[in-house]
Amino acid sequence: MTSETVTKMVFGSAESRLASQAVAKARMEQGLSAYKNPLERAIDKLESCRAAITAKCYECVGSEGNFREVIRTCTSNKCPLYTLRPYQNKVLSTDSVENPVNN
Ligand code: SF4
């Protein structure tokens, strides 16, 4: 595998990067953030459960600050989405699922 192939796999093609940069620039010119937030992404992927859950958690914690970290460290274990929330560590200890911190 060549380094060019690896670069394409990691960063996409030069054309797709340029297209992404053009979209980001256009959004910023409209006063929007450069990249879509989880709510906007969920609207783009209406049939995606993962996108819907991420959007709901984003809506729950608000968009201020580092929402990924706030969602990851959510302690509302009574919420039906608690175990499904995004941005959790890939490997969860069984203790964190069975005995989440109460709030
Ligand atoms: S899991 Fe946490 S962040 Fe997600 S919707 Fe429930 S309470 Fe909100």
Q: Is the pLDDT assigned to residue 25 strictly greater than 80?
A: yes
Q: Distance from the CA of 22 to the center of ligand 1, in angstroms?
A: 33
Element (H, E) at 60: helix 49-61
User: Among the atoms of ligand 1, which is closest to the Cα of residue 56?
Assistant: 5
4 band by pLDDT with thresholds 50, 70 and 90: confident
Torsion sign, CA atoms 32, 37, 39, 42: positive
Report pLDDT for 59.
Answer: 95
Higher pLDDT, 35 or 90: 35
Model pLDDT for residues 28-75, shown as the tens digit of each residue: 999 988 889 999 999 999 999 999 999 999 999 987 788 999 999 999
Quick check: 49 and 55 in contact, CB under 8 A?
no
Report pLDDT for 38.
Answer: 94
53 ligand 1 Cβ < 6 A: no
User: Among the atoms of ligand 1, which is closest to the Cα of residue 57?
Assistant: 4
Per the listing, tokens 């054309």 go with 15
Cα angle, residue 34 at apex, residues 36 and 70 outer, rounded to 5°:
60
Counting every residue written for the chain, the total comes to 103
Q: Distance from the CA of 39 to the center of ligand 1, in angstroms?
A: 14
